[in-house]
Amino acid sequence: MNLFRPEVQRLHGYVPGEQPQDAGWIKLNTNENPYPPAPKVIAAIQQAAEGRLNVYPDPLATRFRKVAAELFDVEPDMILPANGSDENLTILLRTFISPGELVAYPYPSYILYETLAEIQGGKFERVWLNTDWSWNDTRTQSVVKRSKLFFVPNPNSPSGNVWSDDELLKLQPEKGVLVIDEAYADFSEPHSRLHLLQQDGGNQRVITRTLSKSCSLAGIRFGFAIAQPELIAGMRKVKDSYNCNTLSLAAATAALEEQEWMRKNVRKIISTRNRLVTGMRSAGFNVVDSETNFVWATRDDGCSEIFEELKLRKILVRYMRFDGTMADETIEGLRITVGTDDEIDGFLSAMTEILGS
Amino acid sequence: MNLFRPEVQRLHGYVPGEQPQDAGWIKLNTNENPYPPAPKVIAAIQQAAEGRLNVYPDPLATRFRKVAAELFDVEPDMILPANGSDENLTILLRTFISPGELVAYPYPSYILYETLAEIQGGKFERVWLNTDWSWNDTRTQSVVKRSKLFFVPNPNSPSGNVWSDDELLKLQPEKGVLVIDEAYADFSEPHSRLHLLQQDGGNQRVITRTLSKSCSLAGIRFGFAIAQPELIAGMRKVKDSYNCNTLSLAAATAALEEQEWMRKNVRKIISTRNRLVTGMRSAGFNVVDSETNFVWATRDDGCSEIFEELKLRKILVRYMRFDGTMADETIEGLRITVGTDDEIDGFLSAMTEILGS
A320 with A326: CB under 8 angstroms?
A: no
Higher local confidence (pLDDT), A308 or A324: A308
Nearest chain B residue to A245 by CA: give it.
B220
Torsion angles phi and psi, residue B31, rounded to 5 = 55, 35
Q: Does B302 touch chain A (CB under 8 A)?
A: no
> By mean pLDDT, which of A12-16, B137-141, B143-147 is the weakest?
A12-16
B173 with B148: CB under 8 angstroms?
A: yes
Q: What pLDDT does residue B14 have? A: 75
Which tens digits make up the pLDDT trace of B50-71? 999 999 999 999 999 999 999 9
Give contacts of B59 with chain A, Cβ < 8 Å: 16, 19
Q: What pLDDT does residue A1 have? A: 81
The number of angstroms, rounded, from the C-alpha of B141 to the middle of its chain's C-alpha atoms is: 24
Fold of the domain spanning B39-258? Aspartate Aminotransferase; domain 2 (3.40.640)
Q: What pLDDT does residue B327 have? A: 53
CATH of A6-36+260-356, one of 1.10.287.110, 3.40.50.20, 3.30.980.10, 3.90.1150.10: 3.90.1150.10
Interface of B with A in 6-45 (CB under 8 A): 6, 8-9, 11-14, 16, 19, 21, 27, 30, 32-37, 41-42, 45
Contact B237 A8 (CB under 8 A): yes
Pick from B257, B282, B327, B217: nearest CA to B69: B257
Annotate A248-272 with b (16+ C-beta within 10 A) or e (fewer): bbbbbbbbbbbeebbeebbebbbeb
Q: Over chain A, what is the mean pLDDT?
A: 95
**Mean pLDDT (whole number) for B40-51:** 97
Instruction: Give me the amino acid identity at B20.
Output: P
A333 forms bridges with which residues in the sheet? Answer: A320
Tell me the C-alpha to C-alpha distance, in Å, between residue B306 and each of A99, A239, B98, B293.
46, 32, 43, 21
Which tens digits make up the pLDDT trace of A64-85? 999 999 999 999 999 999 999 9
Q: Does A241 touch chain B (CB under 8 A)?
A: yes
Give contacts of B50 with chain A, Cβ < 8 Å: 42
Cβ neighbour number for residue A174 with a 10 Å cutoff? 11
Compute the half-sphere exposure of residue A82: CA atoms within 13 Å on the CB side of its CA.
Answer: 29
Q: Does B243 touch chain A (CB under 8 A)?
A: yes
pLDDT band at B326 (very low <50, low <70, confident <90, very high): low
Judge whether residue B16 has pLDDT over 90: no
Contact B3 A96 (CB under 8 A): yes
pLDDT band at A326 (very low <50, low <70, confident <90, very high): low
Query: Length of chain A, please?
Result: 357
Domain extents in chain B: 6-36+260-356, 39-258
Q: What pLDDT does residue A329 have? A: 72
pLDDT band at B328 (very low <50, low <70, confident <90, very high): low
Judge whether residue B95 has pLDDT over 60: yes
Q: Does A2 touch chain B (CB under 8 A)?
A: no
Give contacts of A50 with chain B, Cβ < 8 Å: 42
How many percent of chain A have pLDDT more than 70? 99
This complex has an ipTM of 0.96
Judge whether residue B334 has pLDDT over 90: yes
Give the minimum alpha-carbon distance from A118 to chain B in angstroms, rounded to a whole number: 10
The number of angstroms, rounded, from the C-alpha of B71 to the middle of its chain's C-alpha atoms is: 20
Hey, what's the torsion of the CAs at B195, B199, B201, B202, to 10 degrees?
30
Pick from A55, A189, A320, A30: nearest CA to B339: A55
Q: Does A245 touch chain B (CB under 8 A)?
A: yes
Higher local confidence (pLDDT), A330 or A163: A163
pTM for this structure? 0.96
